[in-house]
Amino acid sequence: MSNCFIDQIASQDILLRVTNVCGECYSDIKVGDQIYYDMQGYRYLCKTCHQELCDRMNQECEIIHEDEGLFG
């Protein structure tokens, strides 16, 4: 859906060589978990944080601070 993230399944390789926690909430990532690589932040995010970030991003993957979005 979004080209701001690459969705992946957590592998042993990623957990050992990159990270085993979410870059945002620091919850544990386990092998087989759905994770998302944040191409702006160069970090892996859990499903929940990915969703929250997506909700706050515009088309250019920029974080929008205003609550009022142009979703219509």
Q: Return the SS3 of 56.
A: helix
Question: Which is nearer to Zn ion, 51 or 58 (by Cβ)?
Answer: 51
Quickly list H helices, the chain: 12-17, 47-56
Nearer to Zn ion, 41 or 66 (CB): 41
User: What is the spatial distance between Cα 21 and Cα 15, in angstroms, rounded to a whole number?
Assistant: 8
CA-to-CA distance for 10 and 36, rounded, in angstroms?
9
Least separation, in Å, of the C-beta of 45 and Zn ion? Answer: 5
Report the residue number, 25 or 72, with the smaller CB distance to Zn ion: 25
Least CB distance to Zn ion at residue 44 (A): 9
List residues near Zn ion by CB under 5 A: 22, 24-25, 46, 49
Cβ atoms of 33 and 12 within 8 Å: the answer is no
Closest distance to Zn ion from the beta carbon of 59 (Å): 23
